[in-house]
């Protein structure tokens, strides 16, 4: 896709979700899918799905639905599924360990290649097949890595972020409560567990009959 | 706030974030804050902050900024900070353990009161002060609980969801890759670690100069 044809960010955020379910349908041998079926599977309303898909041209046919193989090929290209992005994980606590044990490689173009921690008991071991290096080795090991998952203690977040960026990292998935500061050209997605929980409670109280998640 | 004055969901999602930082400013003894300062702290552009705040009436004054105490009081009420919402956590694996160790109670109206797991080695113990019960005791213990954090294996997600809903849970923070099905009136927020990582990579590649996160 050219830079001129930027799709809305809300749409872009749903692409990995669509891709995974379409891939599952493909594995099950399904040849076509309606926006209604897709809607029930991914829990996004079908009007939104049709609008999202429309940004990529007319992918569906009325009364037929969408061709699964076509969609799959389309999303594979759009999401660069043939190009693996090496990822590093920084901070092998409980949350970091959960990530390492999580099967990211299934139907996926991202792979955690290495992890870092300061704990000498963890350094030199492997979790989920991923080697754990000492945090002091960060600059030395990171040369190929573009994206990092940040699961370090709050007080370390900004310092580690700066070291990651100096080493060439251009994307950070930040799971610390810190709102880290980065230069232009570095992308940060922030997932704050406490904010997510408060947000859920707010919606439970204020939108009790609106069951749709903000997908 | 009345049901008539619903604010946009994107705004609602940012409220817990604003609340936390305004509370921090208050603790530091600050009396006022500009939208620019707030923007730098929470990493949301100041136009968005001003628009968000405008839904609650004219909270700021030109050339002065916002009164910290007023904002704090306002957000405390809006987010029902005086009303604790009891939360249960289901599935004490690495991710569940990370949640239990996470300090949710700080400046917060949510508290994990109990956790459930099937592992007899975990049942009867405590993590972060939270007692762990056997999953068979779910229906018996849940009477007061409205919200649940779901960190169980994929294959258990739908079954446990149904048991939670029968026990009166109306909000679920779903960390499993499953897209769970719930009846009307039950709110689900879904955080899929794999989708988050893919989404980050997509934005790194397609929006390389847009550093703002979709807050």
What does the pLDDT look like over A114-145, one tens digit per residue? 999 999 999 999 999 999 999 999 999 998 89
Q: Is the pLDDT of residue B66 over 50?
A: yes
Same domain, B105 and B177: yes
pLDDT reported for residue B215? 37
In a domain, B152, yes or no: yes
Percent with pLDDT over 70 in chain A? 88
In a domain, B39, yes or no: yes
Query: Residue A51: which residues within 8 A CB-CB, separation 6 or more?
Result: A11
pLDDT reported for residue B6? 67
Stronger pLDDT, A171 or B50, i.e. the higher one: A171
Residues of chain A neighbouring B154 (CB-CB closer than 8 A): none
pLDDT reported for residue A78? 79
pLDDT reported for residue A127? 94
Q: Find residues 13-42 of chain A whose CB sits inside 8 Å of chain B.
A: 13, 15-17, 19-21, 40-42
The answer to whether residue B95 neighbours chain A at the CB level (below 8 Å) is: yes
In a domain, B111, yes or no: yes
pLDDT reported for residue A215? 37
In a domain, B132, yes or no: yes
Same domain, B60 and B7: yes
pLDDT reported for residue A214? 43
Same domain, A73 and A131: no
Which CATH number do you get for residue A48? 1.10.10.10
Domain count across chain A? 2
pLDDT reported for residue B69? 86
Same domain, B124 and B187: yes
Nearest to A203 among B12, B20, B201 (CB): B12
In a domain, B46, yes or no: yes
Q: What is the pLDDT of chain B when averaged over all its residues? A: 84
Same domain, A44 and A136: no
User: Could you give the C-alpha distances from A47 to A31, A35, A38, A43, A52, in angstroms and in order?
Assistant: 22, 8, 11, 12, 9
Residues of chain B neighbouring A164 (CB-CB closer than 8 A): none
Contact A147 B201 (CB under 8 A): yes
Q: What is the pLDDT of chain A when averaged over all its residues? A: 84
Same domain, B188 and B105: yes
pLDDT reported for residue A157? 95
Same domain, A146 and A66: no
Q: For residue B211, what is the nearest residue in chain A, using CA coordinates? A: A187
- A152-181 pLDDT, tens digit per residue, is 998 999 999 999 999 999 999 999 888 899
For the ranges A35-44, A155-164, B10-19, B42-51, the maximum mean pLDDT occurs at A155-164
pLDDT reported for residue B50? 84
Same domain, A184 and A145: yes
For the ranges A145-154, B15-24, B106-115, the maximum mean pLDDT occurs at A145-154
Choosing from B38, B57, B77, the residue where a domain stops is B77
pLDDT reported for residue B209? 63
State mean pLDDT over B166-189: 91
The answer to whether residue B79 neighbours chain A at the CB level (below 8 Å) is: yes
Q: Is the pLDDT of residue B2 over 50?
A: no
What distance in Å separates residue B210's CA from the closest CA in chain A?
A: 7
Nearest to B213 among A10, A184, A188 (CB): A188
Which CATH number do you get for residue A131? 3.40.50.720
Q: Is the pLDDT of residue A210 over 70?
A: no
pLDDT reported for residue A175? 92
The parent domain of residue B46 ranges over 2-77
Chains A–B, number of C-beta pairs less than 8 Å apart = 219
The model's confidence at residue A2, banded by pLDDT at 50, 70 and 90, is very low
pLDDT reported for residue A51? 84
Same domain, A72 and A112: no
In a domain, A204, yes or no: no
In a domain, B215, yes or no: no
Same domain, A95 and A184: yes
pLDDT reported for residue B10? 77
For the ranges A29-33, A76-80, A190-194, B2-6, which has the lowest average pLDDT?
Answer: B2-6
What is the C-alpha to C-alpha distance for residues B179 and B192, in angstroms, rounded to an integer?
Answer: 10
Bridge partners, A62 (sequence order): none
Contact B187 A198 (CB under 8 A): no
Q: Is the pLDDT of residue B3 over 60?
A: no
Same domain, B64 and B164: no
Please spell the DSSP secondary structure of chain B, one letter per residue: --GGGPPPHHHHHHHHHHHHHHHHHHHTT--EE-HHHHHHHHTS-HHHHHHHHHTT---EETTTEEEHHHHHHHHHHHTTTTS-EEEEEE--SHHHHHHHHS--STT-SEEEEEEEES-TTTTT-EETTEEEEEGGGHHHHGGG--EEEE-S-GGGHHHHHHHHHHTT--EEEE-SS------TT-EEEE--HHHHHHHHHHHHHH-TT------
Q: Is the pLDDT of residue A61 over 80?
A: no
In a domain, B209, yes or no: no
The answer to whether residue A201 neighbours chain B at the CB level (below 8 Å) is: yes
What distance in Å separates residue A80's CA from the closest CA in chain B?
A: 8
Same domain, A65 and A112: no
């Amino acid at each position: 896709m050219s830079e001129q044809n930027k799709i809305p960010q809300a749409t872009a955020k749903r692409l990995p979700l669509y891709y995974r379910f379409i891939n599952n349908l493909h594995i099950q041998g399904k040849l076509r899918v309606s926006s209604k079926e897709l809607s029930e599977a991914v829990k996004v309303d079908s009007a939104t799905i049709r609008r999202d898909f429309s940004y990529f041209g007319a992918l569906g046919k009325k009364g037929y639905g969408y061709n699964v193989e076509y969609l799959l090929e389309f999303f594979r290209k759009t999401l660069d599924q043939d190009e693996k992005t090496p990822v590093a994980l920084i901070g092998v606590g409980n949350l970091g360990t959960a990530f390492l044990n999580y099967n990211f490689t299934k139907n996926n173009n991202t792979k955690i290649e290495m992890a870092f921690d300061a704990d000498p008991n963890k350094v030199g071991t492997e979790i989920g097949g991923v080697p754990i290096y000492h945090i002091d080795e960060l600059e030395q090991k990171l040369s190929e890595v573009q994206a990092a998952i940040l699961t370090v203690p709050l007080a370390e977040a900004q310092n580690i972020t700066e070291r990651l960026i100096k080493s060439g990292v251009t994307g950070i998935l930040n799971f610390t409560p810190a709102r880290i500061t980065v230069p232009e050209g570095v992308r940060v997605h922030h997932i704050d567990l406490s904010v997510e929980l408060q947000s859920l409670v707010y919606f439970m109280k204020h939108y009790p009959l609106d069951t749709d998640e903000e997908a």
